[in-house]
Amino acid sequence: MLDIAVAKPALPKSGALVLMLEEGCAGATAELLVVADAATGGAVSRALKVAEFKGKKGQSATVLAPGAGLSRVVAVGLGKLADTTDHSLEEAGGRVTAALAKEPAAAVSTTGMSAGQAASVTMGAALRAYRFDRYRTKEKAEDKPKLGKITLLHDAIAKVKAAWEPLKAVAEGVFLARDLVSEPPNVLFPAEMARRCQELTKLGLKVEVLGPKEMLKLGFGALMGVAQGSVREPRMVVMTWNGATGRKKEKPLCFVGKGVTFDTGGISLKPAGGMEDMKFDMGGAGTVIGLMAALAGRKAKVDAIGLVGLVENMPDGNAQRPGDVVTSYSGQTIEVINTDAEGRLVLADVLWYAQQKFDPRFMVDLATLTGAMVITLGHEITGFFANDDDLAAKITAAGAKTGEQMWRMPLTESFDKQINSDIADMKNVGGRPGGAITAAAFIQRFVNGKPWAHLDIAGTAWATKDSATTPKGATAVAVRALDRMVADNYE
C-alpha cells in the first residue's frame, strides 16, 4: 500500500509534482500550476502548450526536469470538475501512479477539490500501485517501480484524512483478494486459504473453519464429491461481521464464494494449454474474503456473513467419476455428468448451509464458473443472474459507481428444464448452448426462494493487461462493488 500523507498546498522543493487540472487549466485546481510555472520560468506552461494539454478527461502530460528543483511535473486532466464521479477521479489517480513509476515520492495537488474527491484520487493511485512480487528474486532494481509515497496537497487536511480512512480499508480488502488469487496453487490450497481467513480475526471478524469430518457429518455430498480426488483436504470457512450493534437487529447479509484452489477438471480433464490459469478458480472465494476484510476494516454498520467452500479438483484413483450420483446437503440428488462443472457442486452445499444456519436477508454468490460467460461478455463486464429485481438493481448501480460493470442475464424456466436428470433430481450440466445460464439454473435449485444473485466472474477475475486502477493480474473484481452496495443500501 502506498504511504499516503496530506499537507497544505505548497510547491515542493524537490521531487515530482502532480497537478490535477480541470478542463481549461483554470480555476482553483490551477493555483499551484501558476506557482510552478513562475518558479520554472514558464517551462511548465510552455511544455503543456506543446503537448496540447487542456485538462480534458483522460489527458495527461509529463514535463521532465522543468527547473526549481523539480524532477518532473505531471499534469492530469479531470474534465469539468462538476461532472466528475468517484470512478473518473479514481481513474485519474491511477494515471498518476502509472506516470510516476520511476519516482520514489510525489506531491499531488488536489486544490479545488472536495475532501471526498481528493480521497477518490488517492484510492485510484493506491489501487494502481498494487504489485504481487513475492516470488521475484532476481528482478533488476531499474525494473522495479519506485513510487512509495504520495503527499496530497489540500487545505482541509483533517477532512481528507477522514475521507481516505474507509477507502483505505476497502483498498486493503482488494489487495488481500488480489494476493490470494495471485498465489500459486502449491502454496495456496484449502487448508492454507482457511488459515489466512483465520488471520482476519485481528479485524474483529469471527472465523469458523469446518473440515472434512464436520462436512461429512452434515451431509455435504456435493462439495465432498469434488474434493475426493485430492490429497488436499477441503475446508469451509464462515466469517461473521457483527457491525450493527446498537441498531435494530435485522437478518444478516450473506456472501458465498467458490474456492477451487486448483481445477484440473478432475476425470473430465481440461486441456493442458492454459491450465496454469486454474489457480484463480478460487476467485469468487477471494472476493468474499476481501469483501469481509473491507467491511470489518472500515467498521461497516451492518451484520454480514461470508462463506467460502474450499476444495482442490484432482483426477486421482479416488476421484469423482462422470456418471456418479451424489446427495447434496439439501437432500437433492445430483448426477455428475462432467466433473469439470465442479464449482456449482461446491456452491450447492454452501448456499444451502447459509440459508439453514443464518436465514439471511439475501445471498450473493461469486464464482469463476463458466467459459460461456467469457464468450458472452468477454473480460470487461461481469454477468450476473438474480431472482430478485431489487437486489439486481442495487448490484448494477454499485457496479456502475465503482467502474465494475455488471450486466444482468436472463434466467428462465426453459433453461432449468435442461438440467433434469433421467436417474436423479438433476444433473450438473445442461447442453452446450447457454452454458452460463444452465449453470445459474442449477445453483438456483439450492436457493429455496431466498433473494439471491449469482455473479459469474470467470471473465473478470483476471486481467491480461493494465487498466487505469488495476495492473495486469488478479483484479479482486466485485470487492468494491459489493462494499458499495452494502454502504449505499444497508448501513
What backbone phi and psi angles, to 5 degrees, belong to 135?
-110, 15
pLDDT band at 352 (very low <50, low <70, confident <90, very high): very high
Query: Do 373 and 430 belong together in one domain?
Result: yes
Query: Do 151 and 220 belong together in one domain?
Result: no
Three-state DSSP at 118 gives: helix
Helix, strand, coil share (%) of the chain residues, nearest 5: 40, 20, 40
pLDDT band at 247 (very low <50, low <70, confident <90, very high): low
Grid coordinates representing 200 are: 482476519
Q: How confident is the model at residue 249, as a pLDDT?
A: 75
Asked if pLDDT for residue 439 goes beyond 70, the answer is: yes
pLDDT band at 463 (very low <50, low <70, confident <90, very high): very high
Q: How confident is the model at residue 245, as a pLDDT?
A: 75
What backbone phi and psi angles, to 5 degrees, belong to 176?
-60, -45
Burial 45-83 (b: 16+ CB within 10 A, else e): bebbeeeebebebebbbbbeebebebbbbbbbbbbebee
CA torsion sign, 98 to 100 to 104 to 109?
negative
Q: Does any domain span residue 164?
A: no
Q: How confident is the model at residue 431, as a pLDDT?
A: 86
Distance CA 407, CA 377 (A): 9
Of the given ranges (100-104, 371-375, 487-491), which has the lowest mean pLDDT? 100-104
Could you tell me what percent of the chain has a pLDDT over 70?
A: 99
Q: How confident is the model at residue 248, as a pLDDT?
A: 67
Query: Do 146 and 225 belong together in one domain?
Result: no
Query: Do 255 and 131 belong together in one domain?
Result: no
- Please enumerate in sequence order all residues whose Cβ is within 8 A of that of 218, keeping only pairs 6 or more positions apart, or say none: 210, 329, 353
Alpha-helix residue ranges (DSSP H) falling in 298-434 = 343-358, 371-377, 389-402, 413-417
Convert the pLDDT of each residue in 152-195 to its tens digit. Answer: 999 999 999 999 999 999 999 999 999 999 999 999 999 999 99
Final residue of a structural domain among 113, 135, 158: 158
Active site residue 401: no
Task: Kindly state the average pLDDT of the residues 208-220.
Answer: 98
Query: Do 151 and 179 belong together in one domain?
Result: no
pTM of the model: 0.97
What backbone phi and psi angles, to 5 degrees, belong to 339?
-75, -10
Q: Does any domain span residue 337?
A: yes
Structural domain for 355, as ranges: 169-489
Asked if pLDDT for residue 303 goes beyond 80, the answer is: yes
Domain count, the chain: 2
Q: Amino acid letter at 173?
A: G
Grid coordinates representing 284 are: 469468487
Final residue of a structural domain among 137, 158, 179: 158
Query: Do 375 and 450 belong together in one domain?
Result: yes
Final residue of a structural domain among 134, 158, 182: 158
* 373: Cα separation from own chain's centroid: 18
Q: Does any domain span residue 163?
A: no
Here the CATH number for the domain that contains residue 336 is 3.40.630.10
| C-alpha distances in Å from residue 184, one per residue of 21, 279, 294, 343 | 42, 6, 23, 19
Residue 233 burial class via C-beta count within 10 angstroms: exposed 0-12, middle 13-18, buried 19 and up: middle
Task: Kindly state the average pLDDT of the residues 319-335.
Answer: 98
Distance CA 208, CA 223 (A): 18
Distance CA 404, CA 485 (A): 12
Of the candidates 95, 128, 344, 427, the residue annotated as catalytic is 344
Convert the pLDDT of each residue in 383-413 to its tens digit. Answer: 999 999 999 999 999 999 999 999 999 999 9
Of the candidates 270, 301, 361, 450, the residue annotated as catalytic is 270
| C-alpha distances in Å from residue 57, one per residue of 54, 82, 186 | 9, 12, 44
Distance CA 169, CA 225 (A): 37
Convert the pLDDT of each residue in 52-100 to its tens digit. Answer: 999 999 999 999 999 999 999 999 999 999 999 999 999 999 999 999 9
Query: Do 151 and 176 belong together in one domain?
Result: no
The C-alpha cell 441498531 sits at 247
Distance CA 6, CA 156 (A): 9
Here the CATH number for the domain that contains residue 79 is 3.40.220.10
Distance CA 461, CA 331 (A): 32
To the nearest 10°, report the CA torsion of 388, 442, 364, 308.
Answer: 170
- Whether 33 contacts 44, CB under 8 Å: yes
Average per-residue pLDDT in the chain?
97
Query: Do 38 and 80 belong together in one domain?
Result: yes
Q: Does any domain span residue 322?
A: yes
Query: Do 61 and 27 belong together in one domain?
Result: yes
Q: Does any domain span residue 175?
A: yes
Distance CA 16, CA 105 (A): 7
Distance CA 378, CA 60 (A): 28
Query: Do 77 and 145 belong together in one domain?
Result: yes
Query: Do 173 and 305 belong together in one domain?
Result: yes
Grid coordinates representing 307 are: 462463506
Active site residue 357: no
Q: How confident is the model at residue 456, as a pLDDT?
A: 98
